[in-house]
Chain A
């Protein structure tokens, strides 16, 4: 994989506080790469360092093998879509889109032509002569995209660009963004705190927390094989249980749940002692009896497409089960004892 962006031990400190503790990452060419994490995890700082708005305290940022760490933002062939778009309010839509081209020295006729093509791409050619304030939020968003793509950057940086839109528009824009990335073939680095956004669009995701990258991988791997408690908890919903590893044999461990039930799950040789176990609530089946785990139903919550069954294990731990809302499902009544079947690979032992 040829790296579009390579971060080498990048550190960011503000006085005594450290925002990033030595981040090392490689982002491939043509990749839709997402930095995902809660607010304050350092993802936006990282993006702004790539753009050149923040200095690098230590480490290096390489763009296609070239060190750009100390360069001014106007000398980096990357463009940014800002969170609140930052469209220049005193310029028309087409002047906004043509601004980068003008700065790069393109003549008036060619830049008007190219800006026009960009607006056509985002279906806004009819609005070329309006002011940004005369557009809706979704339209402004597309202008911001066109403006950032117009100078043909090597990498496009997107700082939570969908957060200001309402739900329906956000969902539509996800598809549009992904298509745009595939059509243009430009590397997208996308920052968000919304895991659904990250999972639906990205080729790979870096999950960040407290200034560190916790896990990097494709969406499926991040969701199904979280490496630690933070990732398991932050991505999707999960049941986190503290368990005791009894024995490991042939790549499978036998673990004891808080209630005393024993289940098997994959584990590396040599694993022992207390660990956290993650079980996704939708990877379970409910039966009136049998199953690896027994629990008592406490409450059934209707969620539309799903039913959430809140149960309690014998040891006292709360335990969630998700069932698809379908006529074929028998909904257990509160107070009944049920057996829970784990699908294969549903239980995952976490590193910490």
Chain B
């Protein structure tokens, strides 16, 4: 007789679920090292498609797209993290104020509205105000939809930090700014880093909105990959996908570890106290 927590088949489904989630990525990862020119016939281990990404005929296009993606992700993540940090401090530490529920809804709006709707709306808006689509419009759109992704871990972290730390600092003669910069900010740091990394990935990964507001001639990595895939799946796409995949997983893992380590210092004191 097993405990009430056990249901036959649930473990198998859960493990199957993980398999389904990872299998396509793992398969692509493996086939990106395929030495053959054919997509699916295994021709031995080789790095030729990785070399092709950097030196092949599409190298320049992908290079430019990568540069665009990275610079946009860097700027969008930086700006949205600053904005989200300010918002989180106001929302979590500001007590009750008029417009709080509305602001909360506003922050979460980018998560509620279907991406394709945001994409169309943003394109029509830029066209109406006469802003030519290109690098700048992509950047603006990215900053906007990255805000909630940066906000979530930062506000979650801030909620876990008791208000008494700041009060203790104020009690010990710290000004409001000193209490913020010496106490609150260092304690929030794991949440901020985590939010930054997530915003960075979200920006790096976005396809739909970027595809609408990028205009002709400008490419980010996902739109370049999409364009290439539309011509037919080629092995160099597998290599570039694998690299992007690894970068994403690295970032998420980093974000997770930083957050967890930060959690520990807060939790331990609470437990023992």
Contacts and interface: CB of A to CB of B under 8 A. Distances in A.
Interface stretch (B20-28, B55-63, B228-236, B262-270): B262-270
Contacts of A100: 171-173
B32 to A, nearest CB: 42
Interface of B: 162, 164-165, 167-176, 178, 183, 186-187, 264-266, 268-270, 272-273
Contacts of A103: 169, 172-175, 178
B195 to A, nearest CB: 18
Nearest to B171: A80
Nearest to B165: A86
B173 A90 contact: no
B22 to A, nearest CB: 36
A135 B266 contact: no
A88 B272 contact: no
B266 A84 contact: no
Contacts of B167: 51, 53, 73, 80, 82, 86
Contact of A72 (B170, B264, B266, B270): B170
B273 A84 contact: yes
A86 B162 contact: yes
Interface in A144-161: 147-148, 151
Given A53-B167, A80-B168, A74 B265 contact: no
Interface string A44-84: 00000001110000000000000000001111001110111
A288 interface: no
Contacts of A87: 168, 269
A140 B187 contact: no
Contacts of B162: 84, 86
A89 B266 contact: yes
Given A82-B164, A84-B162, 10 more contacts: A52-B171, A73-B170, A74-B171, A74-B172, A80-B167, A100-B171, A103-B175, A131-B265, A133-B265, A133-B269
Interface string A96-118: 00011001100000000000000
A89 B171 contact: no
Given A80-B168, A86-B164, A74 B175 contact: yes
Contacts of B178: 103
Contacts of A148: 171-172
A148 B172 CA distance: 7
B265 A89 contact: yes
From A79, A132, A133, residue with most partner B Cβ within 10 Å: A133
A99 B166 CA distance: 12
B169 A99 contact: yes
A140 B173 contact: no
Nearest to A79: B171
Contacts of A84: 162, 164, 270, 273
Contact of A151 (B172, B176, B183, B186): B172
Nearest to B268: A133
B130 to A, nearest CB: 49
A99 B272 contact: no
A103 B186 CA distance: 17
A53 B172 CA distance: 12
Given A136-B272, A137-B272, A140-B269, A88 B164 contact: no
Contacts of B266: 89
Contacts of A151: 172-173
22 contacts: A72-B170, A73-B171, A74-B170, A80-B167, A80-B168, A82-B168, A83-B164, A84-B164, A84-B270, A85-B273, A86-B168, A88-B168, A99-B172, A100-B171, A103-B172, A103-B175, A131-B265, A133-B265, A133-B272, A137-B272, A140-B269, A151-B173
